[in-house]
Amino acid sequence: MSASRGQSDEEFFGSVYDQKVILRLFPYIKPYTPLVIVSFVSMLVYTFTLVAVPWLIQWGIDNPIKDGLQTA
């Protein structure tokens, strides 16, 4: 309804990403730096495994076909 009055949701509620807010969070996160690093690395490993599973299935199907094997 606010858009009909010429005001967008972003103007009304604020920006989705605000750099000032993120920078203000750093002093609170600093004592947990090792945990933040472990969490970030864990997210990268998890994302890699999600991407690797279909690739491994493709490799398991395509290599026997390429080698000329007709049965699994």
Residue 72 has pLDDT above 60, yes or no: no
- Give Cα separations from 61 to 52, 54, 57 (angstroms): 14, 11, 6
Q: Tell me the C-alpha distance between 59 and 66, whole Å.
A: 10
* pLDDT: which is higher, 5 or 43: 43
pTM for the structure as a whole = 0.56
Q: Tell me the C-alpha distance between 29 and 21, whole Å.
A: 13
Structure confidence at residue 61 as a pLDDT band (50, 70, 90): confident
What pLDDT does residue 42 have? 98
Within 13 Å and on the Cβ side, how many CA atoms surround 8?
5
Residue 2 has pLDDT above 60, yes or no: no
